[in-house]
A = this chain, B = another copy of it.
Amino acid sequence: MPAAKPKMSKETLLPLLASHVLTNGLGGASLRPLAKAAGTSDRMLIYHFGNKETLITELLDHIAGIYSAALDAAIGAERPKTRRECFERVMAQGSHPMMQPFMVLWWEIVAGSARGLPGYRDAAEAMIAKQLLWLEGQMPADDPDPAGGARYLLTLMEGTLMLNAVGHEVTARDGIPASGL
């Protein structure tokens, strides 16, 4: 017998949409390809979400949730000894090929947030807040100021990731002082 209908809904649709957006981008996403990736029609996307804007907004929210869950799942076993070690470990994780689609999408979210597109700002804020919290939990146990250190490392990380994104890997690598942090 043919596959039974999976009874689609926002909840079943969003993961499929997210997966499509992670590989194909967010800015150029249009209803018909999105629908095809989710096994439906544009007609049904509008039916479930009302219009494209709220679809994107809810999709961004969903993606922020995925990201948050991914961070939760990536808690290191033992705490790093130094801030530098923490930085390097987190950067290694963020540079992992598996995370690359996420990074590519991330800059699109930043761009949308900077331009004030609806939904982007909230998603970006949530993802940064989560990352900050997570980073704070990953700081060395004896760090005198974990919250401040997390903010500092986050700033360095994002600057480094951006330089990587635009092909300045060398600048990014040499931008981190050999000692200090």
What residues make up the interface of A, taking CB atoms closer than 8 Å to B? Answer: 25, 27-28, 103-104, 107-111, 113-115, 121, 124-125, 128-129, 132, 148, 151-152, 154-160, 162-163, 165-168, 171-172, 174-177, 180
Copies per complex? 2
Inside 8 A of A114's CB, which chain B residues have their CB?
A: 103-104, 107-108, 165-166
Inside 8 A of A109's CB, which chain B residues have their CB?
A: 166
State which of B25, B113, B132, B166 has its C-beta within 8 Å of the C-beta of A110.
B166
State which of B111, B121, B128 has its C-beta within 8 Å of the C-beta of A171.
B128
A175 lies within 8 A of B154 (CB): yes
Summarize A's interface: helix, strand, loop or mixed: helix
